[in-house]
Amino acid sequence: MIKVGIVGCGKMADQHAFQIQRIPDTQIVAVCDAEPLMARQMAERFHVERYFGDAREMLDSVKPDVVHITTPPQSHFPLGKMCLESGSHVYMEKPFTVYASEAEDLLKLADQKGLKIIAGHNAQFTHVMVRMRELVKSGYLGGKPVHMESQYCYDFSDPGFAKALLGDEDHWVRKLPGSLLQNIVSHGISKIAEFLSGDRPTVLARGFTSPFLKKIGEEGIIDEVRVIIRDEDETTAYFTFSSQISPAPHQFRLYGPKNSLIVDDDHQVLIKVINKDYKSYLKYFVPPFGYARQYLGNFRKNFGKFLKRDFHLPNDAGLKTLITSFYDSLAGKTPLPLSHKEILLTARIMDDIFAQVNDQQIPKEKGA
């Protein structure tokens, strides 16, 4: 039986616990939170035998095989290091670490110890992203992507997170170097990182505060970012983060030398952009019909999965697939679902983005 510990008993921990409890021969043996009452409530609801207020104590007492770290990002590096040094595999919620250098150290340490570590990039494993990956592997694009576009936006009208963040001057998100961006953009960046080559892609980022946030006095939060990325093979990508586009899109477009793909994560729709020419007016009639058929096919796929009780909402579905694949890899059945390279590239691109947008903010503040 695989013994699992969870450190951090907030909202994400609940979602992890649901998924872990589905996995055969796996048991959550302990939960831990710096606030012991939070640990206690989670232990009670998930019938976990032991709860702790200190991670060190949990590791020493129950010696878990795997630890899920679902704490705020500032603690990811020290906790991850502590867990690896104690001999536990680690599932780290996103963002993996605050800085890329920390990500590098953790990945190295995991390798040295012969342990596995993964980042919580569950948006990479929604139904539609899994289907996209299969098509790319089958050679559908006709080679390495020429260009990619990733839009990962956030709707500030969402009362949950926005209310918590905007209502609390001391919210941990505000203390991250990338503030709001750092807590969200890894999902959109990792989609691009998966297809990049080399270790140091070129990143050009521009960030600013939306008029909406300025109006409510939140000048310090950058909630609009546009990024251009280029790797050593001249594959390029655009990344967009916005809090003002409504509805907030979560899309990924892959443009290949032969064909292209559009992934609409909001509706779990995958569209093939087929490189086929039609004569004269036919190109205005046949492809639209083909797209209509593709949309209908997506409906059939989604509904079919729903009937087979294998759909779930995208975040849950992604988490379910990622956690299941992670535990399969621990059992030696499959490789890790996310490569170390992808985790590290995501962290490095994020570092570059935050450094650039923060630099852009400084002169503005000085001038103000």
- Shortest gap between Cβ of 260 and other proteins (angstroms)? 32
- Shortest gap between Cβ of 21 and other proteins (angstroms)? 10
| Neighbouring residues of 87: CB distance < 8 A, sequence distance ≥ 6 | 63, 113, 115
* Whole-angstrom distance, CA of residue 72 vs CA of residue 292: 43
25 interacts with other proteins by CB under 8 A = no
The Cβ of residue 190 has, within 10 Å, a number of other Cβ atoms equal to 27
The 290-309 site mask, x for binding other proteins (CB under 8 A), equals: ----------------x--x
311 interacts with other proteins by CB under 8 A = yes
- Shortest gap between Cβ of 45 and other proteins (angstroms)? 5
The one among 18, 212, 291, 295 contacting other proteins by CB under 8 A: 18
Choose among 103, 69, 119: nearest CA to 351. Answer: 103
| Neighbouring residues of 50: CB distance < 8 A, sequence distance ≥ 6 | 29, 30, 31, 43, 58, 61, 62
Say how many residues touch other proteins, by CB under 8 A: 25
- Shortest gap between Cβ of 165 and other proteins (angstroms)? 11
35 interacts with other proteins by CB under 8 A = yes
363 interacts with other proteins by CB under 8 A = no
**Complex with other proteins: residue 241 or 327, whichever CB lies closer:** 327
* Whole-angstrom distance, CA of residue 129 vs CA of residue 270: 8
Q: Give the gyration radius of the chain's Cα atoms.
A: 21
The one among 3, 34, 41, 113 contacting other proteins by CB under 8 A: 41
- Shortest gap between Cβ of 25 and other proteins (angstroms)? 17
Please answer whether residues 98 and 78 qualify as being in contact, where contact means their C-beta atoms are separated by less than 8 angstroms. no
217 interacts with other proteins by CB under 8 A = no
Strands 66-69 and 89-92: parallel
The one among 114, 167, 332, 367 contacting other proteins by CB under 8 A: 167
315 interacts with other proteins by CB under 8 A = no
Please answer whether residues 68 and 30 qualify as being in contact, where contact means their C-beta atoms are separated by less than 8 angstroms. no
**Complex with other proteins: residue 41 or 210, whichever CB lies closer:** 41
- Give all strands of the β-sheet with 2-7 in edge-to-edge order: 50-52, 26-32, 2-7, 66-69, 89-92, 117-119
The one among 4, 42, 261, 347 contacting other proteins by CB under 8 A: 42
97's tokens:
């670490």
Tally the residues of the chain. 368
204's tokens:
């050009």
- Shortest gap between Cβ of 19 and other proteins (angstroms)? 10
- Shortest gap between Cβ of 343 and other proteins (angstroms)? 26
The one among 9, 67, 184, 193 contacting other proteins by CB under 8 A: 9
Q: Write out the binding residues for other proteins, residues 146-165 only, by CB under 8 A.
A: 160
C-alpha pair distances (Å), 315 with each of 108, 124, 164, 250: 29, 10, 20, 12
The one among 10, 249, 287, 290 contacting other proteins by CB under 8 A: 10
Choose among 264, 219, 200: nearest CA to 367. Answer: 219
The one among 112, 138, 169, 284 contacting other proteins by CB under 8 A: 169
- Shortest gap between Cβ of 31 and other proteins (angstroms)? 11
45 interacts with other proteins by CB under 8 A = yes
166 interacts with other proteins by CB under 8 A = yes
- Shortest gap between Cβ of 39 and other proteins (angstroms)? 11
SS3 1: coil
Please answer whether residues 68 and 19 qualify as being in contact, where contact means their C-beta atoms are separated by less than 8 angstroms. no
Binding site for other proteins (CB under 8 A): 9-11, 13-14, 18, 22, 35, 37-38, 41-42, 45, 160, 166-170, 306, 309-312, 316
